[in-house]
Amino acid sequence: MRNYISIVIVAIAVIVLACILGSSYTYKYKNRNRVSVAGSAYYNFTADLIVWSASVECASMDIKSAYLKLKNDDQQILDYLKRNGIKEQEIVFSSISSDKIFEETYNVEGRQTGRIFKGYKLNQSVKVESTSIDKVEKISREITELLQQGIELSSEEPLYYYTKLADLKIDLLAKASADAYNRAQTIAKNAHSKLGELKEANMGVFQITGQYSNESFTYSGTFNTSSKNKTANVIVRMEYTLE
């Protein structure tokens, strides 16, 4: 009787162990039976906003004289920009910064002996933010009129932006997701399988580069502002089960 009970217990244990191993194998098999794909989308577009900055300097022994000269230069710059089609609300002048100018003095042995006060230097920047891209580009290249008026103006390269970037991201994500799904369908079909449920989806870094440039994608994302014509790229990674 005892031998019979022992045999039954062993048989039950074997059956339970077989069921556990079978379930584990099935679970492991199902988890391995997946396909991972990456979908991409890109869009070529032209910037619709330009930002141009320049700095103006004035120097004088008297800070009041330097300030009055700088304010006069500001007015001439403002008049020049308005004459060239820029709206006054698109023009912003920064606060004025000032520095004292000193000239170092040295003795015949080359050792510094002191400093001579040479006056004050005032600096201010002007920024234009406009949708009139062609007009601002022309101004940034042709500031000789202001230079001829004795204004010490240093022009910077324009920066280009796109104001509908949020909508563009959503559109590209939809296209990249559809591309990833189509890739997964193709793989499943050619593997004589059927695409199952989506298990995981991740968006890659959103990149904006200059069109036809050799800019490299970066881990944190490239955001080109130097080119008027740009290309936006996005990648979406998805993982599906296969049935």
| Distance, CA of 174 to CA of 13 (rounded, Å) | 53
pLDDT at 10: 46
Query: Considering the chain, what is the average pLDDT of its residues?
Result: 87
User: Sign of dihedral through CA atoms 139, 142, 145, 151?
Assistant: positive
Confidence of residue 1 (pLDDT cuts 50, 70, 90): low
pLDDT at 15: 57
Q: Which residue has the higher pLDDT, 10 or 157?
A: 157
| pLDDT 10s digits, 68-122 | 999 999 999 999 999 999 999 999 999 999 999 999 988 888 888 889 999 999 9
pLDDT at 219: 77
Element (H, E) at 10: helix 2-32
- E strands, the chain, in order: 34-46, 49-60, 91-93, 97-106, 112-130, 152-155, 159-161, 195-203, 207-210, 229-242
| pLDDT 10s digits, 148-166 | 888 999 999 999 999 999 9
With CA atoms as reference, report the closest residue to 91 among 143, 127, 135, 57: 127
pLDDT at 243: 85
> Coil, strand or helix: which one is 96?
coil
Confidence of residue 5 (pLDDT cuts 50, 70, 90): low
